[in-house]
Amino acid sequence: MDPFSTATSLTGAIRAGELSAVEALDETLARVAQVNPQINAIVALDEERARAAAADADAALARGGPVGPLHGLPMTIKDSWETEGLVTACGVPDLARHVPAADAPAVARLRGAGAVIFGKTNTPMLAMDVQSYNDVYGTTNNPWNPERTPGGSSGGACAALATGLTALELGSDIGGSIRTPASWCGVYGHKSSYGVVPQRGHIPGPPGALGEPDLGVAGPLARCAEDLDLGLGIVAGPDRWDEGAWTLALPAPRATALRGFRVAAWLDDASCRVDDAVRERHEALVEALRGAGVEVDTEARPALSLDDAVSVYLPLLGAAIGAGLPPEVYDRLVALVAASDPQDDSPMTRYARVLTISARDRVFMDEWRQQQRAAWSDFFTRFDVLLTPVTPVPAIPHDHSAPMPLRTVTINGEERSYLDLFSWIAPATAALLPAASAPAGSTPDGLPVGVQIVGPHLEDRTPIAFARALAEVAGGFTAPPAYAVA
């Protein structure tokens, strides 16, 4: 079995009898044993139950009964999603022994489709960083350069995909947590439209929470766009509160062939400059699209600025996560804001302000968000997708210094705020739009570069279809040289 087979091809081989589910699991676990110690992507295993599930899958196929679209597929789950009978810690020491009694709904849908879930992948603590490290399981390394992070918070998931340890993953995204690690590891990821995949059973909030956090979504991660479509079709749908009254029918993509898409590209911005290596890769991608006969408008924008999007996104993000902070931490942030000069825009003060936003200001921000959604809706009457950077830089070196807002990143030789890593994912997140990350090549020093493909609200299949067609000119997934199979 090729460890870099797609989920679609593996499930096809299992259904055709060319490969058994037990064989697929055995080969996957053997590769995990060989490769995972180098990257620390998979942090918990459930081998005994996975072997029983794989044997059951083979027996069901032998009986000739109906099988699901993921029948017998070995896969992992990001450790922010609750998994029945398998520890779900999300990097939190107090949850290191937390074994849920039930799957999160999205996980249950994957299992119900036939997936054999054999392990969990690493995240930052509470999924609150663009690097994947914690005091429970340690640090995950980028498979393209172990001195760099794979990204976060789905960093373990993307590192596992890039090294052939799993063929499909379930990620979550509120601050680029699907798109950033997909870009930095050279794989595919899809941030779904808000509300189409249940968030129940995700940490954070705390175990047992029933609320749906603003901005937060789930979505598939894979090595090809076809698998994104497959995974989304399984996990999307109403939660138990709504399933008695409505069903979800995501529209077909607006086009399937490259030349059928109306494409705009927003590749740089004065408010958050993009590193030359990333910008040049995106510019080359635009020229490749044009060479394939695709018209690409590099001047078109929705009627909002990048600053506008960031200015509404960060407070809404702060409102979504601030309520979950321990009281003593929240009180310190309130005191910091109260003692600061109103003109102080330093990273720590700015961070404290967004985490302690008032309910009144949150209502104002939501109205501004709705105005931006209207601007996007108008934009997508003229275009089908908008291409942007995912982050302004490729994968960054490990940096675990605290507090996080005081970290910096280097962009074209200039030290910039760590918060700049959230700028380019802000427009789609704030407006609740679907956005895929697809491989777009690599920098001169061999680090992957992804491109963000933003689509119209609820038209998730359009950016996924564009990502699939884009592989014709961008090349799609490439295995990191250290992990490629001869």
Give catalytic residue positions. 78, 153, 177
Query: Which residue, 88, 169, 92, is CA-closest to 134?
Result: 92
- Contact between 461 and 253 (Cβ < 8 Å): yes
330, 322 contact by CB (below 8 A): yes
Phi, psi values for residue 354, rounded to 5°: -70, -30
Q: What are phi and psi of 217, to 5 degrees?
A: -140, 170
Q: How many CA atoms lie within 13 A of 6 on its CB side?
A: 19
User: Measured between alpha carbons, how far is residue 186 from residues 63, 302, 467 in Å?
Assistant: 40, 28, 13
Residue 444 gets which letter from DSSP?
T
* Residue 211 to residue 181: CA distance in whole angstroms: 26
Q: How far apart are CA 266 and CA 455, in angstroms?
A: 13
Residue with tokens 């995912």: 390
Q: In what order do the strands lie in the sheet with 116-121?
A: 42-45, 116-121, 74-78
Residue with tokens 């490439």: 478
CB contact set of 412 (below 8 Å; sequence gap of 6+): 273, 275, 276
Structure-block tokens of residue 132: 């994947």
Query: Is residue 162 within 8 Å of residue 461, measured between CB atoms?
Result: no
